[in-house]
Homo-oligomer: A and B are copies of this chain.
Amino acid sequence: MLVGLTTLDGELLASEKYILGGRVSPDDVLDDLDAALNRLLARVGRFRGDITALGFCTTGVMDVDAGLIYMNHNMGWAEVRLRELAMVRLGLPIVIEMDANAAALGEHWRGAAHGLEHFVYVIVGTGIGAGILLGRRIWRGARGAAGEVGHTVVLPGGPLCGCGKHGCLEALASGLAIQRKATAALKLGRATILESLEGDISAQAVADAARGGDSVARQIMDEAGYYLGLGLSNLVTLLDPQALVLGGGLGWGAFDVLEAPMRRAFDEHLNYWADRKMLLTRAALGEYAGLYGAARAALDLAPGHLQQEVRR
Contacts and interface: CB of A to CB of B under 8 A. Distances in A.
Interface stretch (A21-29, A32-40, A98-106, A228-236): A228-236
A234 B153 contact: yes
Contacts of A241: 141-142
A143 B237 CA distance: 11
Q: Work out how many copies of this chain go into the complex.
A: 2
Interface string A197-239: 0000000000000000000000000000000001001110111
* Range, interface on chain A: 35 or more
A285 interface: no
Interface stretch (A79-87, A246-254, A268-276): A268-276
Nearest to A161: B271
Interface in A146-164: 146-149, 151-156, 163-164
Nearest to A116: B142
A247 B276 CA distance: 28
A165 interface: yes
A129 B165 CA distance: 26
Given A151-B271, A269-B153, A238 B117 contact: no
A148 B237 contact: yes
Contact of A271 (B163, B272, B276): B163
A134 interface: yes
Interface string A266-305: 0011011000101000000000000000000000000000
B234 A152 contact: yes
A263 interface: no
